[in-house]
């Protein structure tokens, strides 16, 4: 795919925003390469901080929303709401 600079040239979308989208995509790829049994506290906490729902995390790691919620609660990770 295109890099940030090329996308900016083509779309004139703010580079800061494009960088944020890239970070979200990169993190989702990290989730996709992780299984339910190997997801770490750090990955799960960052996923919630970025704004992923339990359902989105579950889809990426090929698990269920309920299993992700249970794991998150066991690890004492609370939902993160950006204001």
- What per-residue confidence (pLDDT) applies to 78? 83
- What per-residue confidence (pLDDT) applies to 36? 85
pLDDT, one tens digit per residue, over 26-69 is 999 999 999 988 999 999 999 999 999 999 999 999 999 999 99
- What per-residue confidence (pLDDT) applies to 80? 60
What distances in angstroms separate CA 30 from CA 11, 14, 26, one per listed residue? 27, 25, 6
Q: The pTM is what?
A: 0.85
Quick one: angle between helices 15-32 and 4-11, nearest 10?
Answer: 130
**Which residues in 5-30 are b (16+ Cβ under 10 Å) and which e?**
eebbeeeeeeeeebeeeeeeeebbee
- What per-residue confidence (pLDDT) applies to 60? 97
Q: What is the CATH number of domain 4-74?
A: 1.10.1030.10
- Which of the four pLDDT bands, split at 50, 70 and 90, describes residue 9? very high
Domain ranges of the chain: 4-74
């Amino acid at each position: 795919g295109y890099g940030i600079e090329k996308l900016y040239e083509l779309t004139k979308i703010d580079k800061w925003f494009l960088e944020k989208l890239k970070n979200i995509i990169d993190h989702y790829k990290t989730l996709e390469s992780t299984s339910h049994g190997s997801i770490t506290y750090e990955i799960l906490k960052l996923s919630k901080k970025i704004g992923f729902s339990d359902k989105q995390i579950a889809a990426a790691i090929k698990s269920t929303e309920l299993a992700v919620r249970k794991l998150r609660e066991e690890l004492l990770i609370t939902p993160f709401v950006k204001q």
